[in-house]
Structure 1
Amino acid sequence: MATTVDIPPHIQERCNELGGGVGYALKVLRAQLGDDPLMGTPQGEPSLYTVEIDGDTFEDCPALLVHYAYGPPLLEEGRVEIRGITVTQPPATDDGQDQVLDRGLEEAAVRQVSTAWRRVEAWLRERAPASYASLKAGASVEEIGALEAALGLRIPADLKALWSLHAGVRDVSGAGFLPDNRALMDLEAVAAFHRMQMRFQQRSRSDEDPTWRPSWIPFCSYGVDDRSSGLYLDSATGELGYFSRYAERWTEYASLTVYLEEFADALEAPGLVTGARPGLAGGALVWGPPTYSDPDHPWVEYTS
C-alpha cells in the first residue's frame, strides 16, 4: 500500500515565505517519505517525527528541520502529513553585506524592546507591586528553541528579547496590566493557541481569506486563561495584529518596539494619553476607567 504524503496549504505558504529552493527540497522529501515514512527521528509522542534537510544539497536552500506525523493515532494508516518547518541554518551567500545589515537591524530591535520593557518594569515595581509580582521569569534559549520547533518557524529577535526577560505572567490579581488590560501569554499557551488556530484554518480550507496564518505568533490575550482576543506578531512582516474569537483580524501596531515604547510613554507621561488611561487599583496597573469598579479596590487614575 502506497504512503500518501500531504502538504497542507499553510506549509506551502511557509515554503513561499522562505523562498529559494525550499519548495523543491520539500517536493524531494515528499517523494522520500512516500517510499520510507519512518526515515525521520521519533519525537517521543505517538505518530510524530522530524527529519533534517541539508541545505547544501539544494541550491539557495537553508538547512531545515521538517516536522511530520505518520499513521495512527494522529492519522490514518499509510498517511503522512507535513506539520512544520524550522530553519536551522541560513543558506550560504557570497555577499555578506545583507546579512550584516539584517543582524544590525535585529540587534537594534532587541535593544529597543529591552529598553522599553525595562521602563515598564521599573514603573510596575515602584507603583504597581501586584502587577510586578505577576511576572514570570524569562525563558531560556533552549525553551525558546523548543517553541520554534513547535511552531515550525523562526521567532523574530524582538519577541525573543521580550520572552527572555519575562515569559508570561502568573494568574494572579494585576496580571492583565498590558494596554487594554491584556495579559502576556506564556510559551506553553502560545504553542497551544497557535496549534489550535492552525487546525481551524486547515478545516476551513480558506486560503484566500485565512483566519490564521502560520507566521502569526500570539503573545498576549484578553486574560491569562482567556484567549477570546489578543495580539499576535506577524513574523513575516514584524507587524502586530489583533485577533478575536469572531475571526476579526487587523493590524494594530507597526512593530513590537512601537507597541512597547508607546506603553512605556503612556506610563511616564499619562497626560498625553488618549483613550484608555493608566490607573491603579489594589496595587495593580489597570487601564480605564473600568466599566465595573471594585468597591474594595477603587480605580484611581494615575496622573504623575
Structure 2
Amino acid sequence: MDDEVLRGLMEAQRAAIEARQVADAWQRIEAWLVRHAPGTLAALRRGAIGGEITGVQDRIGVRIPPGLRALWCEHAGVYDVPWASFMLGDWALMDFDAVVSVYEMMTDIQRRDGNEEYPIWRPAWIPICSYGAHDNSSGLFLDAETGRICHWDRYRDRTQRYESLTTYLEEMADRLEAPSLTEGEKPGLLDLRALVWGPPSDPDRAALWEPFPGS
C-alpha cells in the first residue's frame, strides 16, 4: 500500500469518527428535548437531504467538515421563533440561507476593511450559530482548518470557545443530563416547553423560566 492510499484511508477513518462523535452527542441532546422540551424540538428544521450541504459548500467555496455535515444531516437550523436560541450559550442554530448570508457579508467586510494580521474573517470560517435565527451581529463559527469553535461579533471579537464541534455538543449534552454537576449556565424550561439557558437576564423571561432539576 503506497503512502497516498494510506493517507486517504486514514483521512476517511478520521472523518467517520468525527461524524459519529457529533451524531452521538447530538442524539443525547435530542433525546433530552424529546423528554423535556417539545417546543424546542418543534422549532428544529428537518435534516439536510440530497445535495443541500454540497450546495452550501459550493456557494461559500469551503469544504464542509464531516462533523458539521453530520450535524446538518440531523437538523439544518431552526425556525425563527422566540425560543430559537436554545444552543449552549444562548445561540440559535443557523439555517443554510443565514449561513451563506453571514459568510458573504463577513467576507465582503474583510475584503473592504480587513487585513491578514488582524482578520475580520478568514475563508475557512463557517458561521454555524447566531444570536437569533436570522441575526448577523454575533455568533459562533467553525474553523474548517483547525476544527475549533470560535465566537464572532460586530466588534471584531474572534475568541476561541471550544476545541471542536464535538466538544461543544458534548458539553451541552452533559449540562442537560447532569445540571447539578456543572458550573455556569443551567438548563431550564420556558412555559415548560422550550429549552432556555439561564437564569435569563431578561426579567420577563426570568419570571416564566423554571430551572431543570435533572433526572
TM-score for the superposition, normalised by structure 1: 0.67
Q: Distance in 1 between matches of 2:111 and 2:205?
A: 46
Q: Given that residues 114 and 120 in structure 2 are in contact (C-alpha distance below 8 angstroms), is that contact kept between their aligned partners in structure 1?
A: no
Out of 183, 186, 189, the position equivalent to 2:98 is: 189
Secondary structure of 2:203 counterpart? coil
Deviations 1:214-243 (A, max 9, x none): 000000001112222110000011111100
The residue number in structure 1 matching 2:117 is 208
The residue number in structure 1 matching 2:213 is 303
Larger Rg: 1
Letter in 2 for 1:132: L
Which of the pair is proportionally richer in helix? Answer: 2
Q: Given that residues 131 and 173 in structure 1 are in contact (C-alpha distance below 8 angstroms), is that contact kept between their aligned partners in structure 2?
A: no
The residue number in structure 2 matching 1:37 is none
Answering whether residue 108 of structure 2 is matched by residue 199 of structure 1, we say yes
Cα root mean square deviation, aligned: 1.5
Q: Distance in 2 between matches of 1:299 and 1:210?
A: 39
Q: Distance in 2 between matches of 1:271 and 1:174?
A: 23
Out of 153, 156, 160, the position equivalent to 1:244 is: 153
Answering whether residue 88 of structure 2 is matched by residue 179 of structure 1, we say yes
Runs of 4+ in structure 1 over 6 Å off:
none
Question: When the two structures are aligned, how many residues end up with a matched partner?
Answer: 212
Q: Give the gaps of 5 or more residues in structure 2.
A: none
Q: Which moved more, 1:222-231 or 1:131-140?
A: 222-231
Letter in 1 for 2:7: D
CA deviation after TM superposition for structure 1 residue 296, in Å:
9.6
Out of 218, 225, 229, the position equivalent to 2:134 is: 225
Q: Given that residues 190 and 205 in structure 2 are in contact (C-alpha distance below 8 angstroms), is that contact kept between their aligned partners in structure 1?
A: no
Q: Distance in 2 between matches of 1:138 and 1:297?
A: 34
CA deviation after TM superposition for structure 1 residue 278, in Å:
0.7
The residue number in structure 1 matching 2:195 is 285
Q: Distance in 1 between matches of 2:203 and 2:190?
A: 9
CA deviation after TM superposition for structure 1 residue 295, in Å:
6.7
Letter in 2 for 1:290: P
Answering whether residue 23 of structure 2 is matched by residue 114 of structure 1, we say yes
Kindly report which structure 2 residues correspond to 1:154-173, keeping only aligned pairs within 5 A, or say none. 154-173=63-82
Secondary structure of 2:137 counterpart? strand
Out of 257, 260, 266, the position equivalent to 2:175 is: 266
Q: Given that residues 22 and 67 in structure 2 are in contact (C-alpha distance below 8 angstroms), is that contact kept between their aligned partners in structure 1?
A: yes
CA deviation after TM superposition for structure 1 residue 99, in Å:
1.3
CA deviation after TM superposition for structure 1 residue 117, in Å:
0.5
Q: Give the gaps of 5 or more residues in structure 1.
A: 1-92
Q: Given that residues 138 and 165 in structure 1 are in contact (C-alpha distance below 8 angstroms), is that contact kept between their aligned partners in structure 2?
A: yes
Out of 46, 63, 88, the position equivalent to 1:137 is: 46
CA deviation after TM superposition for structure 1 residue 181, in Å:
1.5
Q: Distance in 2 between matches of 1:266 and 1:206?
A: 38
CA deviation after TM superposition for structure 1 residue 145, in Å:
0.7
The residue number in structure 2 matching 1:151 is 60
CA deviation after TM superposition for structure 1 residue 141, in Å:
3.6
Letter in 1 for 2:31: A
Secondary structure of 1:294 counterpart? helix
Deviations 1:180-210 (A, max 9, x none): 2110000111011100100000001412211
Q: Distance in 1 between matches of 2:209 and 2:80?
A: 20
CA deviation after TM superposition for structure 1 residue 94, in Å:
5.2
The residue number in structure 2 matching 1:294 is 204
Q: Given that residues 120 and 264 in structure 1 are in contact (C-alpha distance below 8 angstroms), is that contact kept between their aligned partners in structure 2?
A: yes
